[in-house]
Structure 1
Amino acid sequence: MRPFRHLLIGSFVFLLLTACTEEAPKEQPRGPEHRLAAKNSKTSLLPQFVEVSIPNLRLRSTPDLEGAVLERLALESVVEYLNDSTNFTTLVEMGGEDRYEHWYKVRSSNGNEGWVYGGCIKFLTERENLRFQSIKESQAPIPLSKKKEIDPMEQAQMNRFGELLKKISIQKKSAFEEAIQYYEGMFPNRKAAASDWALAKLVAFQQQVHSYWVDRLPSSKFQAHLAELKRYGSVDMQQNASLRELDQLYLAFALGPKGELLLVPNIDKFQRRVYRIAPANGRIFLDLYAQDIEEPVLKDGEIIRPITELAARLISWDKFLLRLPDYELKDWIEEQKSLYLRALLQGTANRPAFAGQPKRLEDDFQLAYKNLLEQMGEASLILKMQPYVEVLAQENYIYNERVRAAQAKVYE
C-alpha cells in the first residue's frame, strides 16, 4: 500500500521553478482544489515582522504563483506579518531542493497587503519584533518633501554635468558608460537635491541611448540565444563579441509575454553601478523604474500583464509623487501615470475594460479595482477610484452615462 499511497500523493504535487520570481511553473495547477482558502491564525495581539531573504521577492495579490504582483520587496527589507497564513503548502524547487512552504500575508512599508512564499522570508526574534514595533509606534506621518534651494556650488556642479552629457554622442557605443562615470565622479557625496537632479539627467540620457540602439539592433538577430534565456533566465553576455557589444551598451535579453526574445535595457547592471551612491529618494525611484522596464505592464499600447499589476504600478507611482511632488523626473512619472490610468479605466485594444452588449466591465478589471481598494493602502488615486467603483456596482458594472460621468471624475 505504501508505494500506491506515495504514487497517489505524488499525482497531486506540481513541481514549480520558483515562487519568488516570475519564472514559469513546471506544470500549471488545474481546478479549484489547488487554490484553498487561507486560514486565519490570529493568535497574537503583538505585531510580528518578517525579513525578506531573497532579492525582489514578489508580494502577490493571492497566495499562489498566479497571484498578481503588487510590489517587489528588496532583500533584507522588513514587512509586517498580518497573522494570516494558508492551511496548504506549495512545492517549489529552490536552490536545487524541493521546498514545501505555506504562504504568509504581510503588509509592506508602502502600504500594500499581499502574500509571500514562506521559503523566502524569515521571522524575526522576539527582541527584534519589539524593536521594530517600537519604531513603528514612534513613526510620525511622513511630511511632503518640499523643493529646497540649491546653493551656488551645487548648481555649478549640476550645470557642468549637464554640459558634459550634451557633449556625449549617443551614437558612441561607450556613451552610457561615459555618462555613468561622470555621475560617479561628480555626485558621490552631493546633497540629495543635486544628486536627484543628476540621477534624473542620467536616466533621461539612458532612455535616449537605449532608444537609439534598440531600434538599430533587431532582436531577431539574437534568436539563437532564446533557448539559453528560457533555461537559465539570462544569457552570458561575455561569450562572444556580439554579446559583449550589447553588454557595453547596457542592453540585455528578456522574455516577452508570448515567450519571445526581446532586447531591453540592462537595468540590473545600471542599478548596480549607481544604486550605492544614489540618494534615498533616487533609490526608491530606481526600484520602481526597474520594475517598469524589466516587467512592463504595457507594450506597444497593449496590456500584457494582469490588470491588478497595472493597478499596483499606477498606485506605486501615485504614492511616490504624493511624497515627492517636485521630484526631478516628475514629468516622466506623470506621463507613465496617465498611460496606466487610461488603460486601467478604459482598457486597451487587446483587453478592453468594457465588452459585450450592453457593455459591461470585464471580470479581471472588477477584480483589479477590488484589490486596489482593499490591498494597496492609501493614495490620492485610491480616494478617486472609490466613488467610481461604487457607481459601477450600483449600475451592475454596465457602462452608461452615469458610469461615464463617474469615470471622468477620476481623471480630474
Structure 2
Amino acid sequence: MWLAALGIAFSVSPASLGAGEIEDVVFGFDRVPAAWGQAEVPLQFSMRNLPEGAQIRGFGFSFGFRTAHLTFRDARVLLDARSDLYVVDYARAADYSIVRIEVFFAQPAAIADGACVALTFIPELSYAEDIDKTSLMFPVTLIPGEETWISLEGSDPLVPVKNLQDGGIDLWGFDAVHFGSSSAPRGSVAVMPIMLTNVSALASLAVGVDYDEDMLGVLACEIAPEVQGGVTSLHATIAGGVLALDMTFGVNFTQTAAACRPIALVAFWVSADAAPGARIDLGPRTRAEGTVSDPWANPVTIPVKVAEGGAILVQDNPRRFLRGDVNGDGALDASDPVALLSFLFRKPSRSIAGCPDAADVNDDGGVDLADALALLSYAFRGGEPPRPPFPQAGIDPTLDPLTACERSD
C-alpha cells in the first residue's frame, strides 16, 4: 500500500463526520482554452463541497487522457498548508495514458473549496498549413474507484469520492477574437474585455465592434494592463454604431501561440433607459482581421474569427442608504442603536427597515453585536463613524452577502 511505503499510519478517531457529508465532496477538473502550437497548457484540479470545518489528511485521484493528444509533464500543490505531492504512477500506452497522484499533509489542515493542484500538459499537435484549422476538445477524465479518494480527520482512513467532474483542453486551431461579457446597473459603466487567441504571429489586429447606440455609449478604450508592452498601440474610432479598434503588437508578443489572453478593455455607458435584466448583445456586424509578414517581410492580411460576441447584462440600480440609519427614518440618532439592539436580542426581533446593510455599521458583511457597540460608541462617545455610505446616503461601495436594501431611495 502506498501509505505504508511512505511510513504514514492513519489512526481512525471516533467518527465525527457523517457519511452523507463526505458523499457530497466533488472532485473535478476545469476546462481551459489553448492555441494550436502552444507549448504547454495548465489545468487545475479542484475539490468542492468539503464538510464545514473538516480537517483533511490527504487525497488522491487518477485521471486518463488520449496519448495521441497530450503528454503529462508535471503537477504541483496550490495549497498554503504544508503538503507533499507524489505522482504515484504514469502509465503511458499507445492509445491512452493514466496518471495517479496523491497528496499528504504534514498535519491535518482545514482547506477551502477550490483549486488545489495545478497540472501541466503538452499538446502533441502543432500548427501547420496542411492541418484543418478547427477547434478540438481534449478530455481529461477522472477515474472512479479506490484510487480517487479523500481522507478526513474523524472519518474512515480512505473514502472513495464518487462525485467526479471531468474537464479538458479546448484547442483552438485558428486566430480568434473573444469579446467578454459583463454586467452593470443601468445608468452606470460596464467594462468589457477583448481577448485574443493566436496561432499566427500577428503584427496587427483590426476589430470592428457593433453595438446598440440607443442602449450603450463608448466612454474609453485602453490596452489591457496584463499586456502593456506586448500591445504597442491602440487606436479607436467611432462611426454609425461601430467601434473600430486598430492594434499593433510587439515583435515577440505573438511569436508564441496562446489562447484567450486579454488585449484591450472597452468601457461602455449603460443607458438609464435600459430595462433591468435585459441582455445587450454586441454584433451582428462585429468582425476582425489581422496582418502577418510573408517570407519577404511584406504585410499580408488574414481573417481572424470572432469566436465570442460579448454581451452586457443590465442590473437594477442598487438602493441608496445611510449606514447606521437602522430604522430607516433618514437620519442617524439615538433611536438607531436601540433599533439594532432590539433586532439582535428581542424575540420576536424588531425589523431593521428592509436594509440589513444600514445596520452593518462596520461593513464586515454581517449584522451582529459589534455593529451595535460601534453605533453606540459613535452616537454617545464620539467614536469612529460608520463606514461609507456616511454621512450622506449612497450605494454600498463593497460587495457582501447581505440582502440588498428594499426601501425606496
For normalisation by structure 2, the TM-score amounts to: 0.26
Larger radius of gyration: 2
For normalisation by structure 1, the TM-score amounts to: 0.26
Report which of the two has the higher share of helix. Answer: 1
Greater RCO, CA 8 A, separation 6+: 2
